[in-house]
Chain A
Amino acid sequence: MPPATGGGLAESELRPRRGRCSPQAARAAGRDVAAEAVARSPKRPAWGSRRFEAAGWWALLALVTLLSFATRFHRLDEPPHICWREVQRTEESSPKGFSSFCLFFSPQMLIGLAGYLSGYDGTFLFQKPGDKYEHHSYMGMRGFCAFLGSWLVPFAYLTVLDLSKSLSAALLTAALLTFDTGCLTLSQYILLDPILMFFIMAAMLSMVKYNSCADRPFSAPWWFWLSLTGVSLAGALGVKFVGLFIILQVGLNTIADLWYLFGDLSLSLVTVGKHLTARVLCLIVLPLALYTATFAVHFMVLSKSGPGDGFFSSAFQARLSGNNLHNASIPEHLAYGSVITVKNLRMAIGYLHSHRHLYPEGIGARQQQVTTYLHKDYNNLWIIKKHNTNSDPLDPSFPVEFVRHGDIIRLEHKETSRNLHSHYHEAPMTRKHYQVTGYGINGTGDSNDFWRIEVVNRKFGNRIKVLRSRIRFIHLVTGCVLGSSGKVLPKWGWEQLEVTCTPYLKETLNSIWNVEDHINPKLPNISLDVLQPSFPEILLESHMVMIRGNSGLKPKDNEFTSKPWHWPINYQGLRFSGVNDTDFRVYLLGNPVVWWLNLLSIALYLLSGSIIAVAMQRGARLPAEVAGLSQVLLRGGGQVLLGWTLHYFPFFLMGRVLYFHHYFPAMLFSSMLTGILWDTLLRLCAWGLASWPLARGIHVAGILSLLLGTAYSFYLFHPLAYGMVGPLAQDPQSPMAGLRWLDSWDF
């Protein structure tokens, strides 16, 4: 019987590195290199060499950072018009956006703030890609993104340095990222990706740093890196939900770490408890607090009503100033004759709506369309009437009569005077449901216009409250329930959402409604302030809306869409700007040399990693140096590989529309893996040929050729990022003519 499946795992793997604390560790690595230098020039005095190596370490870091900044800021002002998705981003970050509530969140504030500070006046109407910025100052916002994007390279450099303790590996990684046209392009525009990647890499770096501080727990650097990890996590999650993956990675790392500490019998349980508490504080409480705080600020800043209101529930809207529900006072109980709007309880469905258009021929009965509509409109108004009389209940001679749970009512559309109606015809999209139409003339229809109004979870006889009561409409004749399927109608329905009457009586939010606006001059108004939702409710609701909005982006069948398997092979890029040969064209495409090297490295890593792992499991005795290198490969490389896996494979499960740029966080990890792998392999090679005189040269030559190769490929492909004018690459006249290595690249 082999050792246990569960327990065996614990002893063997996943213990964190107990290295020296940085920056000493990094300096130590520098020392190796310097030691080589010393070996070559033995005359140099020892104290001078130490100072020299520290200076060299800083100089190298500065060089990497500088190069990164230089490439990112070069020609940042071109093109002077909106590229690709800058539309969305700038719209929400414009100070005008400050006054209208939008669905996107905190990072826009950062960009918006940067734009505000640099004098962007928010008057520019962001409409569609290609619009000119003209005199509007957009450089501040682009500069901010490029600034964050530039930090990716030094972050990756430091992470790899810490994982592998090898300057050459770190340099290689830095070169791959600096000279990758894709990362460069993505950092140059007003997009969320540079911010997201900044936080992901910051989290990774501080996690690695804090791992290497593990031998001095509870020291100042330990606390610093731990809390910095938490802060970066909050940032990453705040930008996009893709930030969840880095959280998962840090979480796995922390669990392994704690598991190791827990198994260390020299530590008392109290110490382990302290460790646990510290991590809970820094990695759970702190990020959550920050995350909610950014939301709080967001809600405070965006407190005015805007076009996105209809996505939110009635109660949510009540807190947006400018919305008609803000500080409003309306009658509390529904009475006959009231003019109301009816809102579906499911987020982002909208109001029950009708308009003077008929269902087209062949789609049910040719009667007036009934839909749901997300925006406020006069066509959302309905009058609630008794089913059997058509008298005007607002006639002052009649006493007020409240609508009660279980009453049979008729809903008359105010603008067209048609009744809400259903019958045994199939609904336009959901074939198993019944069609809902507007029927009758001036409120006179037939018995198919009768609905029973019911409050969910209530007994007979109670009045119906505005906003608070969750109500259902049950069709009297067929027994079906009024609901919205959430499907978008074709052109003839103005792309509003389908309303059906569903014979399946399952209780879903789609068939539950609430009354939002309520006008009845005969009733006294009450203030709505009591309805103001608490902050956690707001938080929850806005997340629900965002998740729904995200998953609603479904690809269409006949469109070409980017598939996750396209990405690592750099199958196809994204046009950022320009189509024709006269345009200024920017094309988001990874540097193929870098990307294909990365792809090769992953395969090579899996191969070499499993060979080493099997050899160790077989109990092979490795020489000290090889053992050290394989540790770097298995642990350092393993951590980075985990990052790549977590940032790449979940996309295969996503049903929403995907874009090429979703791969870039994974690409960062992949590049780090490449750096670690090639450096280790070359060192192993050099060690294997140690008897040979040129052995050490192999390592240097290998790294140098990789660096130079990358740089040269960047020289070839840089027009992709910095912009091209002139004929397309298919044309032999074009300067890019020989570079269209794949038919699927269209630049």
Chain B
Amino acid sequence: MWGFLKRPVVVTADINLSLVALTGMGLLSRLWRLTYPRAVVFDEVYYGQYISFYMKQIFFLDDSGPPFGHMVLALGGYLGGFDGNFLWNRIGAENALITQSRLMLLESVLIFFNLLAVLSYLKFFNCQKHSPFSLSWWFWLTLTGVACSCAVGIKYMGVFTYVLVLGVAAVHAWHLIGDQTLSNVCVFCHLLARAVALLVIPVVLYLLFFYVHLILVFRSGPHDQIMSSAFQASLEGGLARITQGQPLEVAFGSQVTLRNVFGKPVPCWLHSHQDTYPMIYENGRGSSHQQQVTCYPFKDVNNWWIVKDPRRHQLVVSSPPRPVRHGDMVQLVHGMTTRSLNTHDVAAPLSPHSQEVSCYIDYNISMPAQNLWRLEIVNRGSDTDVWKTILSEVRFVHVNTSAVLKLSGAHLPDWGYRQLEIVGEKLSRGYHGSTVWNVEEHRYGASQEQRERERELHSPAQVDVSRNLSFMARFSELQWRMLALRSDDSEHKYSSSPLEWVTLDTNIAYWLHPRTSAQIHLLGNIVIWVSGSLALAIYALLSLWYLLRRRRNVHDLPQDAWLRWVLAGALCAGGWAVNYVPFFLMEKTLFLYHYLPALTFQILLLPVVLQHISDHLCRSQLQRSVFSALVVAWYSSACHVSNTLRPLTYGDKSLSPHELKALRWKDSWDILIRKH
């Protein structure tokens, strides 16, 4: 503990004895019976699953963070065991951290890189003072950048620490600019080196993680559906098997399936079937009673449409094929029923402000067919672009009413088999994914007769042209989807709110022995949590006091002590704040373990404050001795609490209901007690 006290400010390169001892203790407490619960614990379910995906090289998507963390875990698994990433930790008595780091979850790795980033920045900062541009200077600077990008690569939460390091570096750089003893060139070199190490390297590394990720997972898997057709086609198996060898350019007479680009609430394809809209809806409104057009989330022969030239009658591709271009007028003929896509001034079934879309049936009741659509290629390079399979994103604008074909997102009632509603949006307001479509499956139709055509539609496509997506395109899509993927804000038994974390009003039960009542909980050492918060409060008050006094020109602290105090506070208190405050703005389900990164920073602040009090506030030797005694007492109480809670951390001992009840110090702690 005491060896660590000097760490944030006086960093020495040689490893002293206490450091080794602490490392040993940290390792021991973390690796102690690591293999014990031979069962899957809590979120290990998910992460374990992802790792097996890596092993099988199957594509997957997880919204919790970028792929680096998973890769680290997979690597660990690959080498034959979780390899104790916890060399760093010198606080041996913190139950929550022990629990978290023993299990195969991402937080521990994240905390490791967070602290590595801060530590290497401090080392770098010390080098800056005496030997800029030396080898160790470069080493620590680069390591800062690398650690930051690793932290971001594990979980997006790592961004907070990255921002903190960037902020501190920016302030220091600003002072550097103000240092008039340095030449302009020298300042420029300094700034350039920092920019490269702290901005360029992390970005490059981050891209690298994705690059490796995408190389490793090249087979299609369960999350394919979320991605665009183009992305799916670049994976091995799945859609690629179907689309491989499709003709690229859509021509008049092509048979296509049309996928909605937005794909929410579910990815689906434009679809029609024999059934018609009910004459009268439940709420009394009428319909056109024409054939339903829906969006259907499964592959089906009824998803096939034929692109027809309105001026000709044939439904086959001529030779040579005449490609469809931006701005061309087309009709879309449903393959199985040969009725064409139509919209008219009739209210849609569920969205009465939009037009109904149907496949036209001529009832001979003075309701003419309005089945002409103008093709707009949204992502066109020029106005004469050709409509391309998979790559082109197109809108269909109705010629008569200028309504746009759109997926409304509502589910039709039973008469529509709960498929999704398709409407003609009259007030098309700008670009929105729900009005944009792309061709997924495509073949040149060759059958003149309907019977023949139906057989053709049932058969798979052939021919062979392969196409690949560039890495950047795949990266940006994957990144975008990961950020946009909003998991259902599901309630969880152990979810908690940020306010409960500080006071440790919550816990997470990780594991319960199938028969006995041995159990593992994520539960902090309450003495350390309270003293961490206390240290933070003391730090804030003392800083405010010093700051006000300095402003009135009263200097309580010598200049260098003050600077150390500020820097230590900026990193530790700042680290706590950036890792904690943003959670108040988040809407996703939060758990206690989200607080752990913030907590580690808070605990780092603790020795800083203790040291400060003993050095500067204790005036006499007597006071100092009393204070030391208090610290020892505090420390032993922390050890005692840690020891008491040990069964819940390691889960190695079955406790009686009575003992468990005794451990339930707070009513809000949810400790599992078996009923017998």
Contacts and interface: CB of A to CB of B under 8 A. Distances in A.
Contacts of A6: 543, 547, 566
Interface stretch (A38-46, A278-286, A405-413, A556-564): A556-564
A219 B552 CA distance: 26
B381 interface: no
A619 B548 CA distance: 28
Interface in A1-15: 1-8, 10
B551 A262 contact: yes
B585 A558 contact: no
A431 B492 CA distance: 12
A572 B409 contact: no
Contacts of B659: none
B313 interface: no
B550 A7 contact: yes
A746 B552 CA distance: 60
Given A2-B178, A259-B551, A618-B178, A557 B491 contact: no
A432 to B, nearest CB: 6
A534 interface: no
B220 interface: no
A16 to B, nearest CB: 16
Given A2-B172, A2-B178, A560 B551 contact: no
B551 A263 contact: yes
A4 B493 contact: no
Contact of A558 (B407, B428, B551): B407
Contacts, number: 88
A571 interface: yes
B176 A2 contact: yes
B171 interface: yes
Interface residues of A, number: 40
A614 B129 contact: no
Contacts of A269: 552
Interface in A335-383: 360-361
B184 interface: yes
Given A4-B562, A4-B563, A6-B547, A560 B432 contact: yes
A6 B573 CA distance: 14
A618 B552 contact: no
A121 to B, nearest CB: 32
B455 interface: no
B376 to A, nearest CB: 10
A618 B184 contact: yes
Contacts of A361: 414
A655 interface: yes
A502 B262 CA distance: 33
Contacts of A624: none
Given A6-B566, A504-B491, A746-B429, A265 B553 contact: yes
A259 B550 CA distance: 12
B666 interface: no
B587 interface: yes
B175 A8 contact: yes
B463 interface: no
Interface residues of B, number: 48
A695 to B, nearest CB: 29
Contacts of B491: 430, 432-433, 502, 504
Interface in A450-499: 491
A472 B330 CA distance: 62
Most chain B Cβ neighbours within 10 Å, of A6, A265, A618: A6
B454 interface: no
B265 interface: yes
Contact of B129 (A1, A502, A557, A746): A1
A571 B172 contact: no
Nearest to B407: A558
Contacts of A432: 490-491
B134 interface: no
A479 to B, nearest CB: 12
A617 B427 CA distance: 54
Contacts of A575: 427
A270 interface: no
Contact of B566 (A5, A265, A558): A5
A558 B264 contact: yes
Contacts of B551: 10, 259, 262-263
Contact of B552 (A265, A502, A504, A560): A265
Q: Is the interface of A mostly helix, strand, loop or mixed?
A: loop
Interface string A1-36: 111111110100000000000000000000000000
Interface in A567-622: 571-572, 575, 579, 614, 617-619
Contacts of B428: 746
B556 interface: no
A617 B407 contact: no
B430 A571 contact: yes
B544 to A, nearest CB: 10
B180 interface: yes
B174 interface: yes
Contacts of B180: 618-619
Contact of B408 (A259, A558, A653): A558
A263 B548 CA distance: 9
Nearest to B429: A560
B434 interface: yes
Interface string A540-561: 0000000000000000111110
Contact of A556 (B350, B406, B409, B548): B409
Contacts of A360: 413
A263 B552 CA distance: 6
Contacts of B570: 5
B179 interface: yes
A7 B547 contact: yes
Interface in B393-437: 406-409, 413-414, 427-432, 434
Contact of A504 (B179, B493, B560): B493
Contacts of A619: 178, 180
A744 B431 contact: yes
B552 A262 contact: yes
B481 to A, nearest CB: 15
A558 B262 contact: yes
Interface in B612-654: none
A259 B560 CA distance: 23
A696 to B, nearest CB: 33
Interface in B128-184: 129, 168, 171-172, 174-180, 184
Interface string B260-295: 001011000000000000000000000000000000
Interface in A387-439: 430-433
Nearest to A3: B175
A579 B430 CA distance: 15
A273 to B, nearest CB: 13
Nearest to A11: B551
A8 B547 CA distance: 11
A284 B406 CA distance: 51
B388 to A, nearest CB: 21
Contact of A5 (B414, B567, B587): B567
B178 A557 contact: no
B584 to A, nearest CB: 11
Given A7-B550, A560-B429, 18 more contacts: A1-B129, A1-B563, A5-B570, A6-B566, A7-B547, A262-B551, A430-B491, A504-B491, A504-B493, A557-B409, A559-B432, A560-B430, A572-B430, A618-B180, A619-B180, A655-B587, A744-B431, A746-B427
25 contacts: A1-B563, A2-B179, A3-B175, A4-B562, A5-B168, A5-B566, A10-B551, A265-B553, A269-B552, A432-B490, A432-B491, A557-B264, A557-B409, A558-B409, A558-B434, A560-B430, A560-B432, A572-B429, A575-B427, A617-B177, A617-B178, A618-B180, A619-B178, A653-B585, A744-B430
What 8 pairs between A and B have smallest CB-CB spacing?
Answer: A2-B175, A558-B409, A560-B432, A558-B434, A560-B429, A744-B430, A617-B178, A263-B551
Interface of A: 1-8, 10, 259, 262-263, 265, 269, 360-361, 430-433, 491, 502, 504, 556-560, 571-572, 575, 579, 614, 617-619, 653, 655, 744, 746
